[in-house]
Amino acid sequence: MSKPSLPAGTRDFGPDVVRKRHYILDTIRETFQRYGYQPLETPAFENLETLTGKYGEEGDKLIFKILNNGLDNPEKESKVRAGFEKVLQGKSSPDLTERALKYDLTIPFARYVAMNHGQLTFPFKRYQIQPVWRADRPQKGRYREFYQCDADVVGSRSLLYESELACLYHEVLTALGLTGYQLQVNHRSLLLALAEWCGDRDWLVPITVAIDKLDKIGLDKVKLELESNRLPAEAIEKILTYLAIEGSPASVLDQLEKLLGHLPEGQKGLSDLRTWMAYIKDQPLTYRIDPTLARGLNYYTGMIFEVKAPASVSMGSIGGGGRYDDLTGLFGVPDVPGVGISFGVDRIYDVMETLNLFPTDIADPPRLLFFNLGITESQVTFPLLQTLRSKGIAADLYPEAVKLDKQFKYAEKRGIPYVAILGASEIASGTIQLKNLQTGTQQTLTHAEFLNAKL
RNA sequence: GUGGUUGUAGCUCAGCUGGUUAGAGCAUCAGAUUGUGGUUCUGAGGGUCGCCGGUUCGAACCCGGUCAUCCACCCCA
């Protein structure tokens, strides 16, 4: 019998951790509901076909695939072997795997909308809080199983939603004490316009992949990467002027206008951003327009968001989102535009932990512990315990009549503020001892007094 | 997927250029204290030194492999 262990990148959560996670999740859920989003849950796994091709080439590699059952069936042997050959060539085969763990919440949501669009009332606003899985190598802030909290709305092109989602970010993160978070926004149309200005829309992907790394690898290396992608020097010059854009949102827009305003795509991006800014201009949130923000997921078509952890913590992105014009089109239902955001709970947890942002009174131990002084005594105690519980007071009874010393220490360790002692002498007088462990005060009460005592 | 780091008691870690019986603090349990905790004191239990192999008279220590971990890259929440 070998020692038990966990698969890499997964974790158990003890009581203290679960309480803190609930604190985050409850904050997010409450805000989602207050903004009018409805709950949705989808299965842990989907048909592999539903997921593949939606997250880009790298994304596909990170999907956890589930091996089919019954591969040892002799009748399937030749198919299975043929499927295995495909796998050896880096392709997946439905003869070997036809299901996979979900990789995010957006694609399953799009699948749900595509399957149920006839029944849904649009605009449909849903939130979803569930684990997702990625076959990445674990490291700091990166787990193989982690929770996402998504809010999406489909069926409307209104920038009202981009606006309220940005406010939602602000509300949740400030409620959690993450006041130093940074919201960055950009618009895919601007990136497209940039590619077009450079000479070819097909350069969109290599350009965005390269410039997205600007703050990480620096200007020189971005330049190198663009050159290695065989972009002409003229195009690279244009990109460098684009990358030089920075400043206040208004100033960034002005500079973008000069560079890309002559292109229809550029105008689209600029006008969306202006509309968005007008919606939120009196809201408390701060943001930065970052023309280099690209975001990997290739289904975004409009505004994109990224939330970075406070600069004092090296954690990178704790949330992201954006508009996608045609996600359900992938599932055969065209013309259902959508926009959504996501919170990375596990990273938010890590950031809050390093910043010490969790409230200290998050634990909710029982209010009272009945000591156990013997079978007879505890049988008198038990009804009192149940009465307290029925009144909504969390209480416990120690299971064995061990030394009081030990029962005191148990109460203390669990953070239980009151203990009640009912032994032979209390039975004789019909009373009970109630002791406050913090103050050390103890009083003798009748059962009726005890049940009405303020705990 | 690529590169590196670290694996010693439940936890955090010592352990000298390889040397006899592997240590500390915390935690646990017992006693001092049979119905009154927190402090203190005394004592006890707990180890295949991640695993497998190699070098050596001798390995926790050196070498190889493997697994796990953390970190970085790729990518991402």
Tens of pLDDT, residues A197-220: 988 888 888 888 888 888 777 788
Give the model's confidence band at A3: pLDDT under 50 very low, under 70 low, under 90 confident, else very high: low
Taking the C1' atom of every nucleotide in all shown strands and the CA of A135, the nearest one is: B1
CA of A406: nucleotide with nearest C1': B37
Q: Which residue has the higher pLDDT, A248 or A85?
A: A248
| A1-7 average pLDDT score | 66
Nucleotide nearest to A315 (CA to C1'): B77
3-state helix, strand, coil in chain A (%, to 5): 45, 20, 35
CA of residue A133 to C1' of nucleotide B12, angstroms: 32
> With a cut of 0.85, is the ipTM above it?
no
Pick the closest to residue A105 from A49, A169, A54 (CA basis).
A54
Q: Determine phi and psi for A221, rounding to 5 degrees.
A: -70, -35
Nucleotide nearest to A306 (CA to C1'): B77
Distance A383 CA to B40 C1' (A): 39
The CATH number that domain A1-39+103-176+317-363 falls under is: 3.30.930.10
**Closest Cα to residue A398, out of A374, A415, A428?**
A374
Specify the nucleotide whose C1' lies closest to residue A62 (CA).
B75
Give the per-residue pLDDT at A121. 95
pLDDT at A46: 96
Is the distance from CB of A240 to CB of A222 less than 8 angstroms?
Answer: no
**Average pLDDT value for chain A:** 90
A280 pLDDT more than 60: yes
Q: Which residue is nearest to nucleotide B48 (CA to C1')?
A: A2
CA distance A347 to A341: 15
pLDDT of residue A50: 94
Confidence band for A189, pLDDT divided at 50, 70 and 90? very high
Under a CB-based contact definition with an 8 Å cutoff, are residues A249 and A289 in contact? yes
Strand A65-66 to A182-187 pairing: unpaired
* Terminal Cα distance for chain A, rounded: 48
- pLDDT number for residue A181: 93
- List bases in chain B with any atom under 7 Å of a protein Cβ: 1-3, 28, 30-31, 33-38, 48, 68-77
Distance CA A148, CA A319 (A): 9
Least confident span in A28-32, A82-86, A392-396: A82-86
Average pLDDT over residues A216-245: 84
Domain A368-451 annotated CATH 3.40.50.800: yes
Question: pLDDT at residue A295 above 80?
Answer: no
CA of A5 to C1' of B7 (A): 15
Is pLDDT of A264 > 80? yes
Give me the residue spans of the domains in chain A.
1-39+103-176+317-363, 182-308, 368-451
Strand-pairing partners, residue A370, are: A397, A420
pLDDT band of A356, cuts 50, 70, 90: confident
**Amino acid in position A27:** T
pLDDT, average across residues A230-253: 89
Strand-pairing partners, residue A421, are A433
**Which DSSP state fits A358?**
S
Higher pLDDT, A87 or A292: A292
Q: Is the pLDDT of residue A223 over 90?
A: no
A182-308 matches A368-451 in fold: no
Q: What is the mean pLDDT of residues A85-111?
A: 88
Cα dihedral A213, A217, A220, A224 sign: negative
3 state SS for A129-150: EEEEECCCCCECCECCEEEEEE
- Report the SS3 class of residue A370: strand
Looking up tokens 């690898």 gives: A217
The set of residues, in sequence order, having a beta carbon less than 8 Å from that of A350 and lying 6+ positions away, is A140, A141, A315
For the A182-308 domain, the top CATH level (class) is: alpha beta
Quickly give A354 CA vs B14 C1' distance in Å. 27
Give the pLDDT band of residue A1 (cuts 50, 70, 90).
Answer: very low
State the pLDDT confidence band at A307, using cuts at 50, 70 and 90: very high
The pLDDT value given to residue A318: 92
Q: What is the mean pLDDT of residues A373-396?
A: 94
Task: Say if residue A2's pLDDT is above 60.
Answer: no
